[in-house]
Amino acid sequence: MSDFMEIQPSDCHVHVWGLDGVPDLMEIVSASGLRSVTILSAALMGDKSLNQNCVGLLAKALHPGTIYSFGCLWHPRTGTVQDPLSYEEQARGLIEAGCDGMKMLEGKPTERKALEEPLDSPDYDAYYAYLETQDIPVLYHVADPETFWDPDAPKEIREGPWFYGGGGYPSKEQIYREMEHVLEKFPKLRVVFAHFYFLSADPDRAAAFLEKYPNTSLDLTPGGEMYWNFSKDPERWRQFFIKYQDRILFGTDNMAGSGAYEMTKDDAVAKIRGMRTFLETNRTFQWLGGQQHGLGLEPNVLSKIYCGNFGRFAGRAPKAVDVARTIDQCQRAIELARTSPEQDEIIPELEVIEGKLRGLQRAKAT
């Protein structure tokens, strides 16, 4: 990445679906000159995702100093597995095992509908209160691009998995209302909203949101629409990025390993290149299948967006993994997986993870 400024970005938003993705992720890190990556668990996506918290913790233990990991809650309604622990107890276990924060996907319309639980449901109160009092960072996916609700959206959206124009999905505004109610109830909760909180079509509203909720920030993880919206009015957005330079974080949604959504290493590296070109150069260039216009931000602003803001959000270095507690998490996942019809797919990987963790424990002891 030698054509870019000599700042090593921290990528606050990546996914690793299975253990096979960890070496690939590390290759992306070195090819792109990243300072760190944050693996966001997607454990709530059903039984097959029971490995997610343990994958993130093991990856972190294998690459200390480079990998952060955010845990994610299990919900019985997104799979068959019933977790006897409350949300708060689940989070406590993950944080004590070494997670640096919590990832929430509960605000994505598909999950929000499956869970049948508003984001501001009292069921979450003890959990949010725990995060707030312990000052634990949260990366929250709330809503989706507005076109996903639009009955006149292009065919590929209307026929895709994320079309909410029918079928009893909550509206974008309803999900926002629920989230803002949470922020009013727990004003010290530190939240980064994924994909710019899906407000890239409306800079006034994005600014008003940041003004109203001072402990929130936005990540730059590309949703399909964001960079098109930014490129429509680069000067306006340049001013926005300068004004809110302390509230914007670099993230990619890059993915590694076999699982739900696969992606090649080359695509991951190219995405980082596209984002850096957009942020660092003040010119038009081809990216995302069309012409985009960069913002040409100054190095002091870029350094905050690339890494300074993340350091304040999640800590200058990743927390240490407590290997024994991570083994407990892994055994708990295996126990829960035994009640799943998909256990033959889930348990073998969890056992490999547990074996690797025990290896780390032995290595430490000798």
Kindly tell me which of 17 and 176 has the beta carbon lying closer to Zn ion: 17
Q: Which two tokens stand for residue 254?
A: 């890059």
Kindly tell me which of 83 and 253 has the beta carbon lying closer to Zn ion: 253
Phi first, then psi, for residue 13 (nearest 5°) are -150, 90
Q: Which residues bind Zn ion (CB under 5 A)?
A: 253
Kindly tell me which of 14 and 301 has the beta carbon lying closer to Zn ion: 14
Contact present, 57 and 326 (Cβ < 8 Å): yes
Using DSSP, state whether 10 is helix, strand or coil: strand
- Output the smallest distance, CB 103 to Zn ion, in A: 8
**Antiparallel, parallel or unpaired: β 284-287 and 290-293:** antiparallel
- Output the smallest distance, CB 195 to Zn ion, in A: 8
C-alpha to C-alpha distance for 306 and 343, rounded to whole angstroms: 40
Kindly tell me which of 100 and 253 has the beta carbon lying closer to Zn ion: 253
In 268-348, the DSSP E strands lie at 284-287, 290-293
- Output the smallest distance, CB 13 to Zn ion, in A: 6
Supply the angle between the helices 125-133 and 172-185 in degrees, to the nearest 10. Answer: 50
> Which residue is at the shortest CB distance from Zn ion?
253
Kindly tell me which of 47 and 253 has the beta carbon lying closer to Zn ion: 253
- Output the smallest distance, CB 43 to Zn ion, in A: 13
Kindly tell me which of 253 and 354 has the beta carbon lying closer to Zn ion: 253
- Output the smallest distance, CB 194 to Zn ion, in A: 6
Could you count the other beta carbons within 10 Å of the beta carbon of residue 33? Answer: 15
Kindly tell me which of 225 and 253 has the beta carbon lying closer to Zn ion: 253
- Give, in order, the Cα–Cα distances in Å from 355 to each of 49, 299, 328: 19, 44, 12
Phi first, then psi, for residue 56 (nearest 5°) are -60, -45
- Output the smallest distance, CB 197 to Zn ion, in A: 14
- Output the smallest distance, CB 192 to Zn ion, in A: 12
In the chain, the DSSP E strands lie at 10-16, 36-40, 67-71, 101-107, 138-142, 191-193, 216-219, 248-249, 254-256, 284-287, 290-293
